[in-house]
Amino acid sequence: MENVSVNKSFDGWHKQYSHRSSVLNCEMRFAIYLPPQASNGEKVPVLYWLSGLTCTDENFMQKAGAQALAAELGIAIVAPDTSPRGDDVADDEGYDLGKGAGFYVNATQVPWSRHYQMYDYVVDELPKLIESMFPVSDKRSIAGHSMGGHGALVIALRNSDAYQSVSAFSPISNPINCPWGKKAFTAYLGRDTKAWSDYDASVLMRQATSFVPALVDQGDGDNFMVEQLKPEMLEAAASVSGYPLTLNIREGYDHSYYFISSYIENHLRFHAEHLKK
């Protein structure tokens, strides 16, 4: 690994690293916030944060205002990039496919399959790297925003034994039935829509038999809510399976980091409660 940057923050440390990913076949970058407890010989739990379309590892760390409370609670935060990067990595002219838009799936279609294995990267490769290189425990939770909210929910639902809790802001809740999801899944997974259901939180939650406590916040002033995000589908799925989902519709809030920073304390305290069990 190469240390790209270091910044002290609330007596902890924000660090960026690059490393060669064998899963993604390219150089990847991630950010980690290590709270002060990690410098005092304590192994701290980890919250993985997955960002949305067009984002990198920097958006959440710079805009969400999470470090102060993470320092208080003794939680590390890890933010990976949202897709593979590099000159030889396949891309698309649209913002919603290709670089910055990995959708946290394992692509099966050429040319995407050579690099776009973001599901395996987040579930397997990155946690193994983090747990081997930093003073953290194997206690994990996961959260995200928009495309990253989709990724967080899907990963927790498919790996209920690996995460203590999951949360999302404005997640793409039913991607098999929205324009963003249909475009990405057709490209990455092909036209056989049966494969798409493995990456749809509403489908997985409806079928769930093992549960990870889930918290979702959605702003009713979000321009993407009706066409792209479909929180009502997630709520309906939870009612079928009895899933422990808390879904809050927040009046007036939009899709931006103004929304995330307004409620990030709720999410961090939610995760802290479950990480300490």
Query: What's the chain's Rg over C-alpha atoms?
Result: 17
Query: Does 51 participate in catalysis according to the annotation?
Result: no
First to last CA, the chain: 32
Angle in degrees, CA 140, 207, 24, rounded to 5: 45
Query: Does 198 participate in catalysis according to the annotation?
Result: no
d(CA 217, CA 191): 31
φ, ψ at 85 (rounded to 5°): -135, 160
Q: In sequence order, which residues have a C-beta less than 8 Å from that of residue 60 and are 6 or more positions away?
A: 49, 51, 66, 77, 79, 145, 257, 260
Q: Which residue has the tokens 């989709």?
A: 150
Q: In terms of Cα–Cα distance, which of 87, 235, 96 is closest to 168?
A: 235
Q: Which residue has the tokens 């690996």?
A: 162
Query: Does 146 participate in catalysis according to the annotation?
Result: yes
Instruction: Tell me which H or E stretch contains 77.
Output: strand 76-80
Kind of pairing, strands 136-145 and 76-80? unpaired
d(CA 67, CA 72): 9
The backbone region for 276, taken as left when phi is positive above 0, alpha when psi lies in -120 to 50, beta otherwise, is alpha
CA distances from 102 to 11, 89, 122, 153 (A): 33, 11, 11, 15
Among candidate residues 14, 145, 150, 255, the one labeled active-site is 255
Among candidate residues 115, 222, 267, 271, the one labeled active-site is 222
Among candidate residues 51, 83, 141, 146, the one labeled active-site is 146
Active site residues: 146, 222, 255
